[in-house]
Chains A and B, each alone.
Chain A
Amino acid sequence: MPHSRLVVLGVLLYGLLLAGLGLMRAEFLALAMPLGVYWLVSLWLAPEKLALSARRTLSTTRLTAGGTVDVLLELENQGDPIDQVWLQDALPAGMQVIAGRPACLTSLASGEKITIEYSVRFQRGSYNYDTLNVCVGDGFDLAVTVLPLPAPGSVSVLPQAMPLRAVPLRPYETKGYHGSIPARRGGAGVSFFGVRDYQPGDALRQVNWRLSARHPDSLYSNEFQVEAATDVSLLLDGRRESYLRLGSSSLFEYAIQATASLAQSFLSEGNRVGLLAFGHMIDWTFHGYGKLQAERIFQALAAIQPGDTQNEIPEPFLAHFARPGSQVVAISPLTRWDVITLLRLHARRYSLLVVSPDPASFEYQRLPASSSREQALRIARLERGQLLQPLRRAGILTLDWDVTQPLDQALNILQRSALTGQPVDGGRL
C-alpha cells in the first residue's frame, strides 16, 4: 500500500520536538536531531525543475492473438539532474511480459535519455496505452512527485482465423453477383439444375439432344445451377452467462475464433458479411465485401468482451439487421430460450446455420481423468442433444462443435451430412 514517508518522518520529528518542549527534556530534542538532518538533506537534494518527456514505440500495432510486441520506452530529462527516478509501465490484463522488464529505477543527469525495452505477449483484445507514470523522489524518497507523462500507443490483437474448406450455406435468397453458394435458380453454372425450352441465343452445347430427339417438334436446353453470393449475418453471442471460464481459458475465445474463421471464409467467397454481437451491448458491423470488411469485422471481434447487459438474442434488432430470406449464422453455446428464438427466426424465413461450441467438451479436456468424468460427459451430451433436437427437427443446420476438434473438420462433417441427408449426432456425427 503506498503511503508517504514524509508524513511518517514529520509525525516522528514533531512528536519528539513537542515531547521535548512539553516535558522540558533535552533528550527528546537530541533524538529529533538525526530525523531533522535527514529531512533537510532530503529537501536539499530534491530537484527544483522537473522537465521529463516520454516516448513509446511499438514494433507493431496490429497482430493476431498470441503474437508478441516489442515495446520501447524512452525517457528524457530536460530539467535538473534527478537523483532517483523510477517508473513501472502499467500492463493491462491480457498482456504477459516474456522478455525484459517494464520497470526501471535509475538516476538521470540533465539532458540524459534512458531507454527501456521489453516484449509482451498479447491475448485477443484492444489495448490502449495512455500515460506513463514516472516517480521522482527527493534525496531519500521522502516526497515523491508522480508525473503522468503522455506516452500513447495502441495495439489491436485480432483473433486468429482458421482456413475453412466448406461451409454448408443454403440461403433462401441470393444476390445477383457470382459467388460460391448454389442459388435456387437456373442459369450459367456447373451443376445440373433442370431442362427448359430452347431459347434463341442458347449455345448448342446447352441443348439437351437426348430429350430433343424424343420430341421432334421442339428443342430443349439444359439449365445449370447458378452459384451466387449472398448476405451472411454473423450473430455472435457475447453473454457472459453462456460461456464457461476455467482458469485463464474461456469458451468465448473459441466462439470468437469460429466467428473470425467463418467471416474470413464467407468474405473470401465473395459474400456480403455483417456482424451482430450481443452481450455487454449490441455491437454491429454492417454488411460489406472484401478485405476492408474483413478488417472491420476483425477489429470489432478484437474489442468484444463478454458482458451481462443483454440476456436474450436481440430479435427485433436482428430483423432490421438482416432481411428475411438471407443467411444468418448464429455462434452461441445456446440456452433453451435461444432455441425458441431461433425457431421463431426460422419460421420468419431466415436461413439459419447454428455453430454451437460445446461447453461439455471444453470442460472435459480440463478435468482430471476419472470414471465420473466420463459419466458426466455422457449426461452432459444427452442434455445437449435434447437442447438441440428441436432445431434439427425444424431442419436448421446445427453444429454441436466439440472444441477439441478443429472447426474445419467439424464443418466438413456437417457439410457431408447436409448433402447426404444423414442426421448429425451430437457435435460429432
Chain B
Amino acid sequence: MKSPYLLLAVCLAAATGFLIATDPLSLALAGLGAAVLLIAVWQKHNLLASLGFMMLVFAASLQAWEGSESQARLALSSLCASLAAWDIASYAALLRRLAVPLDPRSLRRRLLRLGFVILCGWVLGALALFFELTLRFELLLALLLFVVLSLSVSMMYSRQRDGTPR
C-alpha cells in the first residue's frame, strides 16, 4: 500500500527538483503546489490535488517563459513529473476514499500506462524544443483552427461522457 505514496513523493521531488535552477518565485510556487498535492492525498480531496497540479504547471510554464532552451527542457521534465504526481495522487485519494486495499495488478497496469504517456509526451515536447518550432503565420492559423475544433469536440465529449458530479 505504501508504493503509490513513495512514487508520489519521488514524482513531487522530481517536479520541484527540475525547477531548482529557476527563479525563487517559480520554485516557491512549485513547492507550494507539491505541498498542496500531498495535503490533497491526506485529506482525500481531489479538487486540492488539481489545484496543486495547476500550481506545478504554472511554475513550469514560468520557467519555460523566462529561461533558455535547456531550462525549457527542465520545465518540460518538471511538468511530466507533475502530471505523474497528479495521476498517482488522484488514484491514492480514490483508494483512501473507498478504504479498499490496493490491487497491485491494477496499480502496475496503471503505472505502465502512465510511464508510456509520460515518455511519449516528453519525447514529443523535447522534439518540439529540439527542432525549434517556429510559429509562422500559416502554422499559427492551422494550430488555432485545430485548437478551436478540438476544444469544441472535447467540450461535447465532456458533456456526453463525464458524469463526475460537480
Contact = CB atoms under 8 A, between A and B. Distances in A.
B29 to A, nearest CB: 15
Interface string B84-113: 000100110011011110010110011001
A37 B117 contact: yes
B73 to A, nearest CB: 9
Interface string A91-106: 0000000000101111
B162 A103 contact: no
Contacts, number: 177
Contact of A34 (B80, B109, B113): B80
Given A104-B98, A107-B106, A143-B157, A27 B65 contact: yes
A21 B109 contact: no
Interface string B107-125: 0011001101110111011
Interface stretch (B7-15, B20-28, B30-38, B139-147): B139-147
A144 B116 CA distance: 22
Contacts of B53: 8, 12
A12 B134 CA distance: 22
B154 interface: yes
A105 B128 contact: no
Interface string A171-193: 00000000000000000000000
A101 B99 CA distance: 8
Contact of B90 (A10, A27, A141): A141
A106 B91 CA distance: 12
- By secondary structure, the B interface counts as helix
Interface in A32-65: 33-39, 41, 43, 45-46
Contacts of B117: 34, 37-38, 41, 140
Contact of B128 (A26, A101, A141): A26
Interface string A1-43: 1111111101010101111110011111111011111110101
A7 B47 CA distance: 11
A386 interface: no
A125 interface: no
Contacts of B143: 17, 21, 29
B64 A31 contact: yes
B166 A2 contact: yes
B94 A141 contact: yes
Contacts of B83: 34-35, 38
B86 to A, nearest CB: 8
Given A2-B166, A4-B158, A146-B164, A105 B116 contact: no
Given A10-B158, A26-B132, 14 more contacts: A2-B166, A3-B46, A3-B164, A12-B53, A20-B135, A24-B140, A25-B135, A33-B122, A34-B125, A46-B161, A105-B94, A107-B109, A143-B164, A145-B161
Interface of B: 45-47, 50, 53-54, 57, 60-61, 64-65, 72, 75-76, 79-80, 83, 87, 90-91, 94-95, 97-100, 103, 105-106, 109-110, 113-114, 116-118, 120-122, 124-126, 128-129, 132-135, 140, 143-144, 147, 151, 154-155, 157-158, 161-166
Interface of A: 1-8, 10, 12, 14, 16-21, 24-31, 33-39, 41, 43, 45-46, 83-84, 86, 88, 101, 103-107, 138-146
22 contacts: A4-B162, A6-B158, A6-B164, A8-B53, A24-B140, A26-B128, A26-B132, A26-B135, A30-B125, A31-B125, A33-B122, A36-B121, A37-B124, A38-B117, A38-B121, A41-B117, A105-B106, A106-B106, A141-B91, A142-B162, A145-B162, A145-B163
